[in-house]
Chains A and B, each alone.
Chain A
Amino acid sequence: MNIAVCIKRVPETAEAAVNIDSSEKHIIPDQLVFDINEADNYALEEALLLREKTEGDITLFTVGSKESDEVIKMGLAKGATRGVRITPENLDNLDAYAVAKLLAEQVKEGNFDLILTGCISSDVGNSQVGVTLAELLGIPHATLVIKMGIEDGFATVQRELEGGLLEELKIKLPALFTIQTGINEPRYASILGIKRAAQKELRVIENITAEGMKAEVVKMYYPPVGKMAEILEGGVEEVSGKLCEILKGKGLL
């Protein structure tokens, strides 16, 4: 079984300050640490686990700048077969549809049985590329997959709905699934894997221009300061005391 995994390099912003540049259309990347998008890392792991059970190749695809080679190489070190990085000239102005179109052009050549992506990217969070790609390839899909099994040309998957409810679907391959975090335990690359990755194929598609964008960022701005918590000031001792007094006053202790 041949598997394609689409991954993205994103900044880790959960605990970092994020600043907008002077164009007001991009953030300033300088102080940020980048890594593979969290959900994509689970998608990659799911491909690696499947490959342990069946023969076949894993091809990684990404649309991004040269720096994205880092996340491709990390995937190759974990055991993927080869990587493809797509870098159009107008990389800075893509929307989710254009990214899916760029991926489709390359992925359709590969004759894949299964295509996996993360269910959401932690940067712009459209949850749009995977399902758009499936439509462009003319194959069925399921999103938010939290359990997956393959048998006789069909996948049985569980999708996460709401309030803890799941639905089980049976989907004919080839198919595309967007993978939810928590489906597995992503591995780390081994030293040997990192050495081997240096020898693996990393194809670069450049000198192309993406077309068909339908959504444009007019501007980025900081969220308006609305309701804000009363921040307790002072050292650890003092704020702990203050909070206890507040909770006690409300009859919560």
Chain B
Amino acid sequence: MTKDIFVIVEHRRGEVRDITFELLTKGYELSRDRGKLLAVLLGFQNEKIIDKLKPFAETILNIDDERLKEFNAEYYQIVLSNLLQEKKPFITLLGQTAFGIDFAPSLSTAIDLPYSSDCLDLEIENDTVFTERQIYGGKINSRISLAENWGYLVSVRPGSIAPRDVELVAEVVDVSSPIKEDIDYRKFMQYVEAAKGEVDITQSEVVIGIGRGIKEDKNLSMMEDFAKSIGGVLACSRPVVDAGWLTKDRQVGSSGKTVKPKLYIAVGISGAFQHVMGMKGADTIVAINKDPNAPIFTVANYGIVGDLLQVIPKLNEKITELKGA
């Protein structure tokens, strides 16, 4: 019996999201000597997306229904529970994103599939599925085994697999939509864009990111002074926005902005993957953190282990001296 790998295609507003290609890369690797790699596409008028996917899968299962135009977990569950139970893929991969988080747990429960979420990697050993996860803010890893079943659901953390070109030519198979009635208990209303702020942090060559380690809002002015003297803009990780110290448009990370400056200085940021997603593309990364085990030091090029309340004023002084000279 062949053991096929399904990848649930993630797309928003007509664009295929990067995670899809990461999953297809992993899916291709897992499917060799086992079965086929199939991309499962739920959407409406999918031609453009199909063209993008063709080189990355052997088959595209195309489910085209106007009610799948925008993502809706309830419609996804109807379609996918039908499809998975009928086709019985060995492993179904999806992204640990706002998309996957919203439908994978209920789908796995509805059709009784073992599910491992937010995985960095997965392996199959003698038909047992093992996943590797990061826990406790990236300080510990755990290896998970999934209970024996005909199939498994695994969601993968974005950015954990480097996408490769696999040069396939997918055959497109249209699957009729099993959705019968419109759902009235969950309706997509509209997209809401984030408010634009006074500065666009994506345009600056130097970005100073501040995090939970700032501790109190009274330390903000010190950071503003520092950003000013080094010629950069102030940005932040999620806890700073949650506390109301900086506005959402300053947030760097998966639910905020992606920046690629020449220099990123992470101050008091532990380095949760959601933040790292938004700044790992910077040319040079400096991390200042009092915790030597903070995951940010695995992302940074240069690190200072120390109290930011002491380091930043001293650094500011030196930079002002240098610039004045």
Contact = CB atoms under 8 A, between A and B. Distances in A.
Interface of A: 11, 13-18, 20, 27, 96-97, 100, 119, 122-132, 134-136, 140-144, 156, 158-172, 175, 181-182, 185, 213-223, 225-232, 236-237, 239-241, 243-244, 246-248, 250, 252-253
Contact of B140 (A169, A171, A223, A225): A223
A223 B144 CA distance: 15
B98 A143 contact: yes
Contacts of B137: 13-14, 122
A226 B160 CA distance: 14
Given A216-B145, A218-B144, A229-B287, A243 B255 contact: no
A142 B73 CA distance: 8
Given A164-B255, A168-B189, A243 B315 contact: yes
Interface in B4-21: 12, 17
A226 to B, nearest CB: 6
Nearest to A12: B137
| B-side interface size class | 35 or more
Nearest to A214: B114
Nearest to A250: B284
Contact of A229 (B99, B212, B302): B302
B257 A240 contact: no
A232 B144 contact: no
Contacts of B74: 140
A247 B302 CA distance: 10
B258 to A, nearest CB: 7
Contact of A142 (B110, B139, B186): B186
A126 B241 CA distance: 23
A244 B230 CA distance: 10
A193 B314 CA distance: 44
The 9 closest A-B CB pairs, nearest first, are A164-B194, A229-B303, A182-B242, A131-B105, A135-B106, A214-B114, A229-B300, A172-B185, A166-B192
B105 A165 contact: no
A141 B73 contact: yes
Contacts of A125: 118, 134-135
Interface string B247-261: 011010011111000
A221 B143 contact: yes
A24 to B, nearest CB: 10
B298 A226 contact: yes
A131 B147 CA distance: 20
Interface of B: 12, 17, 70-71, 73-74, 96-99, 101-106, 108-110, 114-118, 130, 133-147, 149, 184-194, 206, 212-213, 230, 238-239, 241-242, 244, 248-249, 251, 254-258, 262-263, 270, 284-287, 290-295, 297-306, 310-311, 314-315, 317-319, 322-323
A231 B140 contact: no
Contacts of A181: 238-239, 242
Given A18-B136, A162-B254, A229-B301, A135 B110 contact: yes
Nearest to B152: A214
A166 B194 contact: yes
A243 B308 CA distance: 14
Contacts of A165: 12, 191-194
A27 B293 CA distance: 16
A214 B303 CA distance: 41
In this complex, the member of A170, A185, A243 whose beta carbon has the largest number of chain B beta carbons within 10 angstroms is A243
A224 B184 CA distance: 48
Contact of A162 (B188, B255, B306): B255
In this complex, the member of A14, A136, A142 whose beta carbon has the largest number of chain B beta carbons within 10 angstroms is A14
Contacts of A240: 311, 314-315, 317-318
Nearest to A182: B242
In this complex, the member of A129, A181, A226, A252 whose beta carbon has the largest number of chain B beta carbons within 10 angstroms is A252
Contacts of B239: 181
B315 A213 contact: no
